[in-house]
Amino acid sequence: MEAGDDITECIEDRTLVIANHQSTGDVPLLMATFNTRKQILPNIMWIMDNVFKYTNFGIVSVMHQDFFILSGRKLREKSLLSLASHIYKSYIPLKRKWMILFPEGGFLRKRKATSQQYAIKNNLPHLEHVTVPRVGALHTIMDCLNPEKAAANNNSTIGDRSVQKLEWILDITIAYPKGDPIDLAAIVFGNRTPCKTLMFYRLYPMSQVPQDSDSLSKWLLDRWVEKENMLEVFYETGQFPLDENSNLPTPVVQDPMRFLILHLLFIASTYFHIQVFAAAYHYCSYLIY
């Protein structure tokens, strides 16, 4: 299901998508949602945890030149420099339109306790359904896709600066029934009862997004506090708090043939990866014993 702002206006424009992150199921569910709009998936760049590189769609993402970010405090600065380099060397030259970022930097269940401790130390709002978003990657992206800042940095790899400007930020709130997210294993093996997952959209033109560092950090935190409040209502009532300008929840309707082909490829890819891992396990066992 999808609801909220109409996103047709930004489909062919350079757009940064930010979303809350609850489980390994978030990425494939977003892929399935975007699949209904044929202009999006060929022109998208994902920023995802390095662990996804070793899943059955990892090789596709590598070939598509998505970016795999390394987690961990010690690697954070290096990852941000690598992200900036990737934007200049891949995202801009390939003329990608959308870029997907999970600012929380990890799954809710893994980051919740640490996030709440950080919030207490820094006098930030207490969050239960989301975690305090990290701003490093957002600042890096905004700097790279800001013509004035890029010119000030004298970056020679940019080329035509007029085509690199970021025009929209699309804020997606992913909501699972009762806060129980679907994981990748449930998608692969189908061992969970079907449920309705909601994608709620808020679309912001860049004219409404602050550019200076401190204001941008506050703006991002405000969006996550808004998510917290909406998710709390959703988990309690089963309904999202919609305003008068929001579109009502509607089903995400797939093209049957396209969806069948994608699922067959997914099943074949999953089987191939299982066989590869099984062969590797047996080979290692043979060497050991």
CA distance 197 to 182: 9
Q: Please, how many CA atoms are within 13 Å of residue 281, restricted to the half-sphere of its CB?
A: 6
**Same-domain check for residues 139 and 31:** yes
**Same-domain check for residues 241 and 269:** no
**Same-domain check for residues 279 and 261:** yes
pLDDT band at 148; cut points 50, 70, 90: low
pLDDT band at 152; cut points 50, 70, 90: low
The rounded Cα 97 to chain-centroid distance in angstroms is: 14
pLDDT tens-digit readout, 11-42: 999 999 999 999 988 988 998 899 888 889 88
Residue 256: its H or E element: helix 256-288
Q: What is the DSSP-derived secondary structure letter of residue 71? A: P
**Same-domain check for residues 284 and 168:** no
Q: What is the mean pLDDT of residues 152-164?
A: 51
**Same-domain check for residues 239 and 259:** no
Position 55 scores a pLDDT of 72
- What the block records as the tokens of 135 is 């701003």
Q: What is the CATH number of the domain that holds 98?
A: 3.40.1130
Position 280 scores a pLDDT of 83
Measured between alpha carbons, how far apart are the two ends of the chain, in Å? 51
Show the domain range for 268: 255-289
CA distance 140 to 85: 10
Write the CB contacts of 27 (distance below 8 Å, at least 6 apart in sequence).
46, 48, 52
**Same-domain check for residues 69 and 183:** yes
Position 62 scores a pLDDT of 85
Statement: residue 155 has pLDDT above 60: no
Q: Where are the alpha helices (DSSP H) in 175-255?
A: 184-189, 213-237
pLDDT tens-digit readout, 215-260: 999 999 999 999 999 999 999 998 989 888 889 999 998 888 877 8
**Same-domain check for residues 161 and 265:** no
**Same-domain check for residues 278 and 162:** no
pLDDT tens-digit readout, 171-198: 999 999 999 999 888 887 788 888 899 9
